[in-house]
Amino acid sequence: MALLELRNLTKIYEQPAVKGISLTLERGRILCLLGPSGSGKTTLLRLVAGLEQPDEGQIIFDGKDLEGVAPHRRQFGLMFQEFALFPHKSVYDNIAFGPQVQKKPPDEIQRLTQEMLELVGLTDKAGRNVADLSGGERQRVALARSLAPRPGLLMLDEPLGALDRALRERLMLEIRVILKTLNMTAIFVTHDQSEALAVADKIAVMNRGRLEQVDSPEKLYLHPQSMFVARFLGFKNLLPGNITPDGGVQTDVGLFYPPLLSDVTQNSVTLVLRPECARVASPDSSPAPMPVISGRVSSRLFTGQSYRIGVDMSSGVKMVFDLPNETPPPAVGRQVDLNLKPSGMVVIESS
Ligand code: ADP
Ligand code: MG
């Protein structure tokens, strides 16, 4: 049985902020709410936390309907981007705060606090004032503080939003390991798709208060089900096309044969070419094993892991591909022939 179940949850301000959301979350799993600013992520968290009342729908936790249950009685943990640490207290006292409020016995408070300090790697900084810590360290204290009372559910609202990229990448992996170590059930809100893919067991993509798609990170990336999700994941090569009688997709750029086309029921579709599906075609691979497209290189960026190239097709369509870093692609202005792997193609039905 799911630990948390949202049934048709709706919250209306002037406009609906959350509309008809139904979701389940299993114990020990991490759910990411992913969506652009204003899509209703924070409102959904506040409803679950009991800080807002839904206009419709139910929140079931551990088999109980939470209607009328005050926020503090729900015993959920919250961690926000603007973490409200006590700036003049030590790291230790900040983390011990929750168990103290819970009136745990002193030795239990000490045990929980020590355990959290170890888990976030701040044992040697226990006596420091939090005002003297780096941004990343403060974020670890905030995490430890929200975890120390051992909430039944932890909700994190864009917890890494204020940090620089390198630190964010490190901390998001740390957070996942820490939550998993404690078998914590968590809802992690972010507008950053790479953060969601790295942290989540399950991702719920939100758009204007509604759910667009709920899937594992792998499934979401490999099979985005709508244009919104494809765009939000950062896919640039979205080609309008029509299904051909022999089971291909005709686009302005060419005829392609993506996998799983038998599942498609519409004639008019969008073909997504994922950026990693292209390779520079070698002149001697004849007949070409895969579809070949030709265009002019319009930009070339070495990112370390790959060469990101922009390609202008003769039809006027512009595309972007990530090529392996071993072989430098042709320079800007030159023609390039690319092989496209069918496994990197996804068909989205127009809605
Ligand atoms: P997100 O966290 O995804 O950025 P929010 O849940 O904060 O989105 O907001 C969703 C929508 O609800 C926005 O249009 C926002 O302006 C509106 N909204 C949120 N909170 C309130 C409020 N307290 N009063 C009126 N409108 C609100
Ligand atoms: Mg928000």
pLDDT tens-digit series, residues 148-205: 999 999 999 998 887 888 888 888 999 999 999 999 999 999 999 999 999 999 999 9
Q: Please tell me whether residues 193 and 318 are part of one structural domain.
A: no
**Mean pLDDT score across all residues of the chain:** 92
Tell me which of 207, 231, 255 is where a domain ends: 231
C-alpha closest to that of 256 among 319, 317, 340: 340
Cβ of 21 less than 6 Å from ligand 1 = no
Q: Please tell me whether residues 137 and 152 are part of one structural domain.
A: yes
Best substitution site from 9, 12, 13 to test ligand 1's pocket, by max atoms within 8 Å of Cβ? 13
Work out the average pLDDT over 134-158.
93
Q: Please tell me whether residues 102 and 164 are part of one structural domain.
A: yes
Q: Please tell me whether residues 28 and 138 are part of one structural domain.
A: yes
Range of the domain at 292: 235-349
Cβ of 47 less than 6 Å from ligand 1 = no
Tell me which of 183, 209, 231 is where a domain ends: 231
- How many other β-carbons are positioned within 10 Å of the β-carbon of residue 181? 9
Q: Is the pLDDT of residue 80 over 90?
A: no
Cα–Cα–Cα angle for 79, 147, 75, rounded to 5 degrees: 80
* Band of pLDDT at residue 288, cut at 50, 70 and 90: low
For 350, half-sphere exposure in the C-beta direction (CA atoms, 13 angstrom radius) is 11
- What CATH number should be reported for the domain holding residue 329? 2.40.50.140
* Band of pLDDT at residue 118, cut at 50, 70 and 90: very high
Q: Please tell me whether residues 140 and 270 are part of one structural domain.
A: no
Give the model's pLDDT for residue 332: 96
Number of domains present in the structure of the chain: 2
Residue showing tokens 């030795």: 107
CA dihedral 110, 111, 115, 118 (to 10 degrees): 50
Residue nearest to atom 27 of ligand 1 (CA): 13
User: Mind listing the pLDDT tens digit for each residue in 42-62?
Assistant: 999 999 999 999 999 999 999
CA dihedral 200, 202, 208, 212 (to 10 degrees): 140
Q: Which of 14-23, 73-82, 220-229 has the lowest mean pLDDT?
A: 73-82
Q: Please tell me whether residues 245 and 204 are part of one structural domain.
A: no
Q: Please tell me whether residues 25 and 170 are part of one structural domain.
A: yes
pTM of model > 0.85: yes
Q: Please tell me whether residues 307 and 181 are part of one structural domain.
A: no
Q: Which of 260-264, 287-291, 306-310, 326-330 has the highest mean pLDDT?
A: 306-310
Q: Please tell me whether residues 71 and 186 are part of one structural domain.
A: yes
Give the Cα separation of 207 and 225 in Å (integer).
13
- How many other β-carbons are positioned within 10 Å of the β-carbon of residue 67? 12
Q: Which amino acid does the sequence have at 326?
A: E
Q: Please tell me whether residues 61 and 204 are part of one structural domain.
A: yes
Q: Please tell me whether residues 177 and 41 are part of one structural domain.
A: yes
Q: Please tell me whether residues 311 and 180 are part of one structural domain.
A: no
Give the model's pLDDT for residue 87: 86
Tell me which of 231, 259, 283 is where a domain ends: 231
- What CATH number should be reported for the domain holding residue 100? 3.40.50.300
Q: Is the pLDDT of residue 141 over 90?
A: yes
